[in-house]
Structures are given as C-alpha cells and as structure tokens.
A and B are shown apart, each in its own frame.
Chain A
C-alpha cells in the first residue's frame, strides 16, 4: 500500500493505532498485529516507523516480528492457502496435499504465484482434526481433502479469476 508511486508505505494509516498504543508498555505485538491488518504484511519502513514511535530500536521490532509465525514480511497473494500440518492431518496424508498444490500452482511453503493470486503457507494445527486433511483458503475451510479434490478447488478459484 503506497502513498504514491515511490514504493513507500503510507505511514498515516497507522497513526491511530500508534496514538492509542505507543505509550502503553508491552504493546508491540498488538501494534504489529494492527499494522499487518492495515498493510496486509509488515513493510520494512513501517517497522522502522513503529520503532521510532515506541522509543525502541528497529532490531528489537524486527526481532519480535520475525519470532512469531503470524507476522509476514512479504505481501501475500489474493488467496492465502493455509495448509494444516497438525498431527491428525499428517497421519491422514497432508503431505500428499502439499504435493498436489505444488503440482497445480508450482509453489512451495511460503511462496506466492507469479500472478500474485495464491500464497501457500504451512500452518500448525487449525483444530479441525476430524475433517483432516484440511486447508483453509481465506476464510473458507476445506476438509477431507484428496490430492484431486485439492487441485479441483484451486482450479475453480483460478477459473473465477479468468
């Protein structure tokens, strides 16, 4: 999200969040969560800005941002595929689903398709163990997957975009 064409983030978007939390001790994670909601990910210039406003160092902010799996330092595709890697999904074949996604989209864990449509992210248990193997695309959960079923779901989403 840029303010013009200069690839800089529009820092005014996070002003309200910083006004509310910058002076509250222990709020760094909360601020980062809001920032990610606003920008879709955590752009580097935003991290520098947060560090300055809360009176901390960029290293400290970066340290927290890279510690937690929720935070992303790169933009994600329009469809974020969260593939569950919980124990139940593992036992019921999540590895085969990952392979099918790779075959269909050509992306591995953490990667985004060239057209910017899909990002694949392996996640810890989504807690829908009885529907395993499971993946979640944006807010929709797809359960009892087979490699073919997973490919079909992705093809349908692609078709929608064409």
Chain B
C-alpha cells in the first residue's frame, strides 16, 4: 500500500508536513510513504490518500499528526481505524463535478518524480510534436482548440504563437508568466507545485512552434516551494533528455531557466515583465512593437501564462477539436478558478466554460459560510469587478463576464456575504493599485491616489455630495490615460461597485451609515436596557472605560468616549448590545 500526503503550500500551511513526519515515524515496511501536490480541496487540508496500486482506497481529510497511528492501523488491516476522518460523499462531489485538464495531475502524481509524470502519458505530446508535426501544424492545432490566454486578457494563443513564428530573428525566446499577482488567485502556483513537468512540456511545445531556443519562467518570489519543485523538474527533464540539445533525438534544442521575481504586481504585464527580466524597474513599454517583434533583449518573444501552457499537452494528445467541444461560442475548453472568501468549500475548481457562477459557488462550493446571504463575487482581482447576487446565473465566458463590468481574469473568485462593505472593497483594491502603480503614467499614478483618498473619506463618514460623480470622472480618465493593463483596469472595482451598489455609496455619503456594518467609523453601539442584566462584563472589557453602570443595573455606553472597537458587543452574553 501507498500512503500519499498532499503537500502543496496550502496543505503544508494547514499542517501536512507535520502529518507526514508523524506517519513517517510510525511507518512499517508494509507501506510506502510519498507526497503529492495540491488536489485543490483546500477546505479539507491536510489530506492523506491511501492507495493499493492505482486504486484509491481511502481519502482522509483534516488529518492531524495524532491520526498517524490509526492510519498505520488501517494499513495493517484494521478496516475501521480511519472511518471517522474519511471524506464524506458530499465533499467528494467537489471533485466529481469538475472537468480537469490543466489540473489533471495535480494531487495525483508526485511532483518531485519525473517517472510518475511520464507514466501518466507525460512528454508523449512533446514526442508526438517533434516526430510527427511541423511547427505550423502545432499552431493550427492550437487554433482549432480555441485556447485563449488564461492570465486574464483572453487573447487567442495561436495568434501570439503565429506572430512570434512569423517574426524575423535569429534568436527567439519563450517566456512563461508565473508572476501570479492577483490577490486571491493561486491556480498557477498549484500547477507549478503539483505538476511542474506539465508546464515544462507545454512550454517546450510552444518553443518548438515559435522556433525559440531558450525558455524562461518568471516566477513570483513569494512562491518558494514552486521555485524549488520547478528547479528540480528542470534538472530531471535535462537528465532524461527532454530539455537541452537535440531533444528526443530531433533537431530541436531548447534550454530553460527560472527567474525569481522580486515582488511587483505590474510585472504581470508582459512588457513590464520583460523589463524586469532584464534587471530593470518593471515599467511597461509602449506597444507596438509587440513582444512578438521586439521582446526580451529586443528579440522576438512570446509570453503565455502558466495555465495556458498547462492545457497544451492535453490538446496535442487529444486534439484541438476535443478541447473546443467544451465551452461556449467564444470561450473554449476549461478554466480554473480559485474559490475563496465567505465560501463553505474553498479551493481550486476547474470547469468547462459555459457553466454559471451559481454552478461554481453553490453547486461546487456548497454556498456561503454560515449560510449567510450571498452578496457578490469579485472576479479578476484588482483589474476586475464585483458581480452582484442578481447576476448569479451569468455564464462563465469571456464575453458574458465582460458585459457585467468584471472580467474573467486569471481566475480569482472571492465570494462575499452581506457583512462585506462594497465601498470598503473598492477602497481595498484602490489601495492595492495605488501602491502597485509603477508611476510611469500620470493618470494611473496620481489618479488612483486621488480615488483612494476620496474612497477613504467616504468610509470614514466624510463623503461629500458629488463624490460619486468625481470618482466616475476619474475612472474614465485613468482608463483613457494609462499605458498598460494595470491602469486601464484599475477603475473596474470602483465602477462595478458604483454600478451595482450605488445605494451603499449613497448611504455612506448622505446618511453616514454603512449598510454592511463593516466601516468602523460609521458604527455606533447601544445597550438595550431591557436585555441588560448588569453583569458588568462589557464594562470590564471596554479598553477606554466608556461603559458606566452598577452591578445588576442596566449599563450605558458613553458615545463620546467609545472608540467603536466592538469588544463589548463581542463579550455580551445576553445580546443586549446592538451595533447600528
């Protein structure tokens, strides 16, 4: 038997490494202990799978180091030893309702062993390409598949490959954008940590198609485990002859290296990324010329996102038509989403395009935490927007999502309930983009700052009439005046929240109230006389002695002194304190 501990970053953060050590300490010779990457069920981590050959016997969830002994008991024949930590049928649905292509090996194979990747049809697509297809045929197959850039822009992949192929130049580069910067998105990290060879294979096929001799992966510095596993995978691939000179006996040669980013959101923009690769400040270049003509070191270059490459080997093996058979008219194949926020079952979800937001949030994600009211879902991070509850049946498709004012983006899906303030949300994203603006364009550099100031005033209760209109005006001028995607999309979180939640802005500005009861400065606390038993707990908890009253008599909050910290509200056992 084989005991497999899921060790992606999330799993490790939840304690998977400690579970692994605990099992290792008790391991008998009858079982083998190994690791796998992220299966995407973050809400159940740490996860331990027990296999007999290829058959999955048990999937154990929320495993603690103290469970090690009974896991060994089970392996030794005690069938019931682990029944109470086994995954439920309801939770099994989380995976059963998905269609996995980019994530097909994630949480299944050991990412540190090339043999396991090869045994699961790994590098067969590369072999097929090198032995039976011309670069033009590869590009045609990708064209048939309808694969579009999964990093956010959704630009047809074949078109970029073809442009780089056609471009004149003695030396070309293929670059993978793994600078996954959207807060709330972690699918690229999961692919690199869990299935690094699939990325390498996809990149090699791309390099062959465009005629590149060198490939570079630009990885976010915050992803040390991804860098470690990819470094190991590149070394393995070189040793086995999948990378380097005359790959698999063909005339195609390609080398690959990793460049660790240094933390700048704007480097997700392809020309800023190129500047950063060259050791400069990551500031975008004017386009044209496009990277296909003049990119890294001013040579023809092609840049795709991790998830885009992760689909390529599957497309080559199964045919572009099979990929295109999934999805909608203008969005083909599957897309991976990182489902987080106020959701019951958070994790990675890969589904065919054309499903609805409801299918993902309620069908797979199990609905809202604590059965609260669903309010909105934020898609596309700082470049995207908030889609309200009434649009829950919007289909997942580039056009349909774009029509809401949000974007498909890289796949972050942050779910919010009625306790999230939408003005606060807009402020949060503007704070992010204002900090991350590279400073090159005046509209982006100063415009985002001015918007942030206005939003910060509004959430403090200092909003003025005309603020909403001023915000809108600034939004449109930043969109028009910015050079790159960061600035052009930075106003989206503000525009979508104004569009769908204008009443919340108005409540903040006109009534000085936060409907979600989230903005501290707009809250007030009051003790309901009838309910107060005079237990004095709240007055003891109050850090500023703002609560007065004697034992067994109703207490009163001195609103002048109150700093609205909520300590009294959280301590009261009789629900005698109301927040307004």
Chain A interfacial positions (CB closer than 8 Å to B): 25-30, 32-33, 63-64, 67-71, 85-88, 90-92, 123-132, 134, 141, 143
Ranked 3 nearest A-B pairs via Cβ = A130-B42, A68-B262, A86-B183
Bound form: Cα–Cα A70–B265 in Å: 12
Contact status of A126 and B222, CB under 8 A, knowing A68-B264, A71-B262: yes
Contact status of A125 and B183, CB under 8 A, knowing A68-B262, A68-B264: yes
In the complex, what residue of chain B is closest to A27 when comparing beta carbons? B279
Contact status of A88 and B340, CB under 8 A, knowing A125-B184, A130-B43: yes
Chain B residues whose CB sits within 8 angstroms of the CB of A126 once the complex forms: 222
- Decide if B262 touches A33 in the complex (CB within 8 Å): yes
- Decide if B414 touches A69 in the complex (CB within 8 Å): no
Interchain nearest-CB distance for B418 vs A (Å): 12
Bound form: Cα–Cα A123–B264 in Å: 11
- Decide if B278 touches A125 in the complex (CB within 8 Å): no
- Which of B12, B280, B341, B412 lies in contact with A92, CB distance below 8 A? B341
Scan residues 267-320 of chain B and give those whose CB is less than 8 A from a CB of chain A: 276-282, 297
A to B CB contacts below 8 Å, 13 in the list:
A25-B279, A26-B278, A33-B260, A64-B280, A68-B261, A87-B340, A87-B428, A88-B341, A88-B414, A90-B183, A90-B428, A124-B265, A125-B185
Interchain nearest-CB distance for B542 vs A (Å): 14
Chain A residues whose CB sits within 8 angstroms of the CB of B340 once the complex forms: 87-88, 129-130, 132
Chain B residues whose CB sits within 8 angstroms of the CB of A125 once the complex forms: 181-186, 222
Bound form: Cα–Cα A162–B428 in Å: 38
Bound form: Cα–Cα A85–B259 in Å: 25
Kindly state whether residue B177 has any CB partner on chain A within 8 Å: no
Q: Find the residue from B10, B338, B346, B420 having the highest chain A CB count within 10 A.
A: B10
Chain A residues whose CB sits within 8 angstroms of the CB of B278 once the complex forms: 25-26
- Decide if A64 touches B10 in the complex (CB within 8 Å): no
Kindly state whether residue B165 has any CB partner on chain A within 8 Å: no
Kindly state whether residue B9 has any CB partner on chain A within 8 Å: yes
Contact status of A26 and B279, CB under 8 A, knowing A124-B183, A128-B13: yes
Chain B residues whose CB sits within 8 angstroms of the CB of A134 once the complex forms: 13
- Decide if A143 touches B183 in the complex (CB within 8 Å): no
Chain A residues whose CB sits within 8 angstroms of the CB of B221 once the complex forms: 33, 70
Bound form: Cα–Cα A132–B338 in Å: 13
Chain B residues whose CB sits within 8 angstroms of the CB of A131 once the complex forms: 10, 13-14, 42
Q: Find the residue from A30, A63, A64, A125 having the highest chain B CB count within 10 A.
A: A125
Chain B residues whose CB sits within 8 angstroms of the CB of A70 once the complex forms: 221, 261-263
Chain B residues whose CB sits within 8 angstroms of the CB of A28 once the complex forms: 279-280
Chain B residues whose CB sits within 8 angstroms of the CB of A69 once the complex forms: 262-264
Kindly state whether residue B378 has any CB partner on chain A within 8 Å: yes
Kindly state whether residue B223 has any CB partner on chain A within 8 Å: yes
Chain A residues whose CB sits within 8 angstroms of the CB of B342 once the complex forms: 91-92
Chain A residues whose CB sits within 8 angstroms of the CB of B222 once the complex forms: 123-127
Q: Find the residue from A25, A92, A126, A128 having the highest chain B CB count within 10 A.
A: A128
In the complex, what residue of chain B is closest to A21 when comparing beta carbons? B279
Chain A residues whose CB sits within 8 angstroms of the CB of B12 once the complex forms: 141
- Decide if B186 touches A129 in the complex (CB within 8 Å): yes
Contact status of A29 and B414, CB under 8 A, knowing A69-B263, A71-B262, A129-B340: no
In the complex, what residue of chain B is closest to A136 when comparing beta carbons? B13
Chain B interfacial positions (CB closer than 8 Å to A): 9-10, 12-14, 42-43, 45, 180-186, 189, 221-223, 259-265, 276-282, 297, 338, 340-342, 346-347, 378, 381, 412, 414, 416, 420, 428, 432, 438
Interchain nearest-CB distance for B325 vs A (Å): 32
Chain B residues whose CB sits within 8 angstroms of the CB of A88 once the complex forms: 183-184, 340-341, 346, 414
Chain A residues whose CB sits within 8 angstroms of the CB of B381 once the complex forms: 87
- Decide if B264 touches A67 in the complex (CB within 8 Å): yes
Chain A residues whose CB sits within 8 angstroms of the CB of B14 once the complex forms: 131, 143
Bound form: Cα–Cα A6–B243 in Å: 50
In the complex, what residue of chain B is closest to A95 when comparing beta carbons? B520
- Decide if B420 touches A91 in the complex (CB within 8 Å): yes
Bound form: Cα–Cα A26–B347 in Å: 37
Interchain nearest-CB distance for A100 vs B (Å): 11
In the complex, what residue of chain A is closest to B222 when comparing beta carbons? A126
Chain A residues whose CB sits within 8 angstroms of the CB of B182 once the complex forms: 125
Interchain nearest-CB distance for B265 vs A (Å): 7
In the complex, what residue of chain A is closest to B566 when comparing beta carbons? A96
Chain B residues whose CB sits within 8 angstroms of the CB of A132 once the complex forms: 340
Contact status of A26 and B277, CB under 8 A, knowing A125-B185, A127-B186: yes
Interchain nearest-CB distance for A72 vs B (Å): 11
- Decide if A127 touches B189 in the complex (CB within 8 Å): yes
- Decide if B416 touches A91 in the complex (CB within 8 Å): yes
Chain B residues whose CB sits within 8 angstroms of the CB of A91 once the complex forms: 341-342, 414, 416, 420
In the complex, what residue of chain A is closest to B9 when comparing beta carbons? A127
In the complex, what residue of chain B is closest to A142 when comparing beta carbons? B13
Q: Find the residue from A30, A63, A87 having the highest chain B CB count within 10 A.
A: A87
- Decide if A87 touches B412 in the complex (CB within 8 Å): yes
- Decide if A130 touches B347 in the complex (CB within 8 Å): yes
Chain B residues whose CB sits within 8 angstroms of the CB of A67 once the complex forms: 264, 281-282, 438
In the complex, what residue of chain A is closest to B184 when comparing beta carbons? A87
- Decide if A29 touches B184 in the complex (CB within 8 Å): no
Chain B residues whose CB sits within 8 angstroms of the CB of A130 once the complex forms: 10, 42-43, 45, 340, 346-347
Interchain nearest-CB distance for A107 vs B (Å): 18
Interchain nearest-CB distance for B21 vs A (Å): 15
- Decide if A64 touches B183 in the complex (CB within 8 Å): no
- Which of B10, B280, B297, B420 lies in contact with A128, CB distance below 8 A? B10
In the complex, what residue of chain A is closest to B417 when comparing beta carbons? A91
Bound form: Cα–Cα A125–B181 in Å: 8
Q: Find the residue from B260, B279, B282, B346 having the highest chain A CB count within 10 A.
A: B279
Bound form: Cα–Cα A86–B338 in Å: 13
Chain B residues whose CB sits within 8 angstroms of the CB of A86 once the complex forms: 183-184
Bound form: Cα–Cα A11–B142 in Å: 52
Interchain nearest-CB distance for A67 vs B (Å): 4
- Decide if B281 touches A143 in the complex (CB within 8 Å): no
Bound form: Cα–Cα A143–B186 in Å: 16
Interchain nearest-CB distance for A42 vs B (Å): 11
- Decide if A127 touches B10 in the complex (CB within 8 Å): yes
- Which of B181, B260, B347 lies in contact with A124, CB distance below 8 A? B181
Bound form: Cα–Cα A88–B13 in Å: 16
Chain A residues whose CB sits within 8 angstroms of the CB of B338 once the complex forms: 129
Interchain nearest-CB distance for B337 vs A (Å): 12
In the complex, what residue of chain A is closest to B185 when comparing beta carbons? A125
Chain B residues whose CB sits within 8 angstroms of the CB of A85 once the complex forms: 183, 432
Chain B residues whose CB sits within 8 angstroms of the CB of A27 once the complex forms: 279
In the complex, what residue of chain A is closest to B40 when comparing beta carbons? A130
In the complex, what residue of chain A is closest to B565 when comparing beta carbons? A99
Interchain nearest-CB distance for B560 vs A (Å): 21
- Decide if A29 touches B279 in the complex (CB within 8 Å): yes
